[in-house]
Each structure stands twice: as structure tokens, then as C-alpha cells.
Structure 1
Amino acid sequence: MIVCVCRRVSDREIARHARAGLSFDEIQFELGVATQCGRCESCARDVVAQCSSTHPIAAVHNAAVPQTIQLASSITESKAWTSSLHSQAA
């Protein structure tokens, strides 16, 4: 799933960097995520938190349920998602 539309950065790419031990600030510098409009910052930080070595649950959990499904369910509940659905319907 694309997290940062401005820089076309996916959750998989963010997760790969986070699992390699990079912090959010380092990932932001490397990939440019959340450096333009900033709307993706909270989602990108969530991905980093889920994949961080300081959160061992994410390491165990990622084999059972893909993390993209968890992120997608939170996006569908956001105001941005519902407003775009209403504009498409009109």
C-alpha cells in the first residue's frame, strides 16, 4: 500500500527500513516520507512503530497477519477516506 503519495513510498519500503533498525527520522531522510504535504506522517510512524525492534509484538505478529491489512482498516475509518468516497459518488 502506498503510504506517501507525494514521494510514492509504500508501507513495505518503510517496514523494510524500520526492520533494518532505522528510526523514523532516518527513514524520513532516506525515503523523503512525510517531507512534503505531511498527511502520511502518522501512518508512516505507525508502520515504523509496528516494525521497530523495541516493539517485539510486531516481529511476532507480522507472520500471522499482514500489517497492510491493519493499516488499510484504519485508513478506511479516516475522514480523508470517507470524503473521497463521497466525492466519487457525486
Structure 2
Amino acid sequence: MIVCVCRRISDRDIARHARAGMSFDEIQFELGVATQCGCCESCARDVVAQCSATRPVAALHNEVTAQPVQLANSIRESKAWNSSLHSQAA
């Protein structure tokens, strides 16, 4: 799912960097997330918080199919999610 519309940055892009051990500030510098309009900042921070590098990167390759569902649920519950757009898409 695209988190930052201004820079076309997905939750997977953010999660990949977070799992590599990068902080939100480092990810923001690297990808440019939340540097234009800023509407995506809370959602991007939620993704980083969920994917903090507490586990080795090699172990995460086995969880590729399970992780996006967890991220999508978190994003859907965040303040940045527009529920009217979600209900129209469903």
C-alpha cells in the first residue's frame, strides 16, 4: 500500500528499511517519506514502530507473507487512513 503519495513510497519500502535497523529519521532522509505535505508521517512512523529491527534480517525472509497483513491492519487503524476511501474500495 502506498503510504506517502507525494513520493510514492509504500509500506513495504518503509518496512524493509526499518527491518534493516534504520530509525524513522534515517528512513525519512533516505526515502524522503513525510518530507513534502507531511500527511503520511504518523502512518509511516507506525510502520517503522512495528518493524523495528529487533529480529535478525535473515529471519524476516520467512515472514514475508505474514508481515504485510499485520502492517495493513495497523495502517487501517491509524489516523492517516481515510475510512471513506477504504469503504468505497471494498
Q: 1:9 is aligned with what amino acid?
A: I
Cα–Cα, structure 1 residues 80 and 2, in superposed 2: closer, same or farther, change >3 Å?
closer
Q: Structure 2 matches for 1:47-62, cutoff 5 A?
A: 47-54=47-54
Separation of aligned partners in 1, 2:74 and 2:29: 25
The structure whose RCO (Cα within 8 Å, separation 6+) is larger is 2
Equivalences for residues 67-86 of structure 1 within 5 A: 67-73=67-73, 78=79, 81-82=82-83
TM-score, length of structure 1 as denominator length: 0.68
Q: Which runs of 5+ in 1 are unaligned?
A: none
Which residue in 1 is equivalent to 2:3?
3
CA distance in structure 1 between the partners assigned to 2:12 and 2:64 by the alignment? 16
| Distance of aligned partners of 1:4 and 1:64 in 2 relative to their CA distance in 1, 3 Å threshold | closer
How far apart, CA to CA, are the structure 1 residues paired with 2:8 and 2:64?
27
Identity of counterpart residues, as a percentage?
Answer: 73
TM-score, L = length of structure 2: 0.68
**Alpha-carbon shift at residue 81 of structure 1 (Å):** 1.8
RMSD of Structure 2 on Structure 1 (CA): 2.8
SS of equivalent to 1:22: coil
Q: Which blocks of at least 5 consecutive residues in structure 2 are unaligned? A: none
**Structure-2 residue corresponding to 1:39:** 39
